[in-house]
Structure 1
Amino acid sequence: MSTTTSQGKKGTALAQGGKYLTFRLAQEEYGLEILKVQEIIGIMPVTRVPKMPSFVRGIVNLRGKLIPVLDMREKFGLPRQDDTEKTCFIVVQVKSVDQTLVIGVIVDNVSEVLNVQDSQIEAAPSIGTQMDTDFILGIGKIGDRVVILLDIDKVVTQLETKELLAAHTAVNNSTNNTNVVSKAS
């Protein structure tokens, strides 16, 4: 399954049928292409990184690899909520212009993997504002459910990706320098 790479015309869904991992933020249900998802992990301690955008909660050490973590509630302008036992990270691959970045996105809870047919996907409705909806591939209508299908590569803008890469590099360099000093002691 892959998505159409062109922008498409207004009113045209960019999503194609396939498998989507669904998750909740507040009362809304969202879906990510399953091929973008590496794994789902329970909430764990996050280390803050100074001067990052407000939606970047920090970084985590995932089996020896440092990855940036985004708070999807903050990114989408939803009210902050304390983490619960259902709060988790979805580890995804985000493609930048010149490389792929592995990030964790914090969601309220993961629902299920849905097999969405082409016929169940519609374009995101135009609401007549200048609101940026480029990150919405389409709206899945599955029975009575409405699932907002996201393009994770566009949820994080190119500028934000560069900031995340810079933070990731700075933290990794700092960690490597600390390890060198520790080994020399």
Structure 2
Amino acid sequence: MDDQTELAPMDAIQSLQILSFVLDEEWFGVEISGIQEVLEYRNVTQVPRTPDFMLGVINLRGRVIPVVDLRRQFEMHLSAPTVDTCIVIIHVEVDGENTPLGILADRVHEVVEIDTADIKPPPRIGNRIKTAFISGIVRHDEHFIILLRLSKVFAPEELDLVREQVSQEEPAEWDDV
């Protein structure tokens, strides 16, 4: 598992910094240590024969970065990108290698520091997302933030397939970054 995209053991630290973002009006969070950067939305080049959740790839300073849509992965209502749509570049482990991956977010809210004592376990019912994908839930201001366990969201075999397809296909056009 990639420690950079997981929440650190709760008893080891007092607080976490997470990036909060919104998908389909639900708030999510990822520990900032697993995040490389946040980009404005740009056109994504589709790659044939990739999993449904993969939108395609972008060129980020000469590197091919796969971009995935968590809405598809979480079986949420799909919507067209807006002016607030962002691509969050994260790192996940694939075959022992730290691999950059873009995830689509409706909008990025802010970096939030949370007290680990405030993190509650995921509910067993009433959530659209598999509880294995969730490290916990925390209340911040008037919102509940679902803390994602990204290494569980993307199964290793799916990420291997994405990486294989991206390396085999050479997109005809690139967005300049």
| Pairwise same-fold verdict (TM > 0.5) | yes
- Runs of 4+ with >2 A deviation: 1-5
Q: Check the 8 A contact 1:3/1:16 in 2, yes or no.
A: no
Structure 1 pair 16–106 and aligned structure 2 pair: CA distance change class (3 A)? farther
Structure 2 match to 1:104? 102
2:38 to 37, 40, 44: 40
TM superposition score normalised by structure 1: 0.81
Aligned sequence identity (%): 31
State whether structure 2 residue 7 is matched by structure 1 residue 3: yes
- How far 1:161 moved relative to its partner? 1.1
State whether structure 2 residue 111 is matched by structure 1 residue 113: yes
What does the per-residue CA deviation read over 1:124-181, in whole Å, with 9 as the maximum and x for residues that have no partner? 011299x73212010012243200000122211111111111112213xx47xx9xxx
Alpha-carbon distance between aligned partners in 1 of 2:126 and 2:87, rounded to the nearest angstrom: 33
Structure 1 match to 2:23? 25
Structure 1 pair 51–85 and aligned structure 2 pair: CA distance change class (3 A)? same
Aligned residues: 166
Q: CA RMSD in A?
A: 2.6
**Structure 1 unmatched runs, 5+:** 6-11, 179-185
Q: Check the 8 A contact 1:17/1:121 in 2, yes or no.
A: no
Structure 1 pair 16–132 and aligned structure 2 pair: CA distance change class (3 A)? farther
- How far 1:109 moved relative to its partner? 0.2
Worse-superposed segment, 92-101 or 34-43: 92-101
Q: Check the 8 A contact 2:49/2:165 in 1, yes or no.
A: no
Q: Check the 8 A contact 1:123/1:139 in 2, yes or no.
A: yes
- How far 1:4 moved relative to its partner? 4.8
Structure 1 match to 2:131? 133
1:26-175 → structure 2 map (5 Å cutoff): 26-127=24-125, 132-171=130-169, 174=170
Alpha-carbon distance between aligned partners in 1 of 2:23 and 2:156, rounded to the nearest angstrom: 23
Worse-superposed segment, 138-147 or 110-119: 138-147
**Structure 2 unmatched runs, 5+:** 173-177
SS across alignment from 2:157: helix
Alpha-carbon distance between aligned partners in 1 of 2:112 and 2:165, rounded to the nearest angstrom: 34
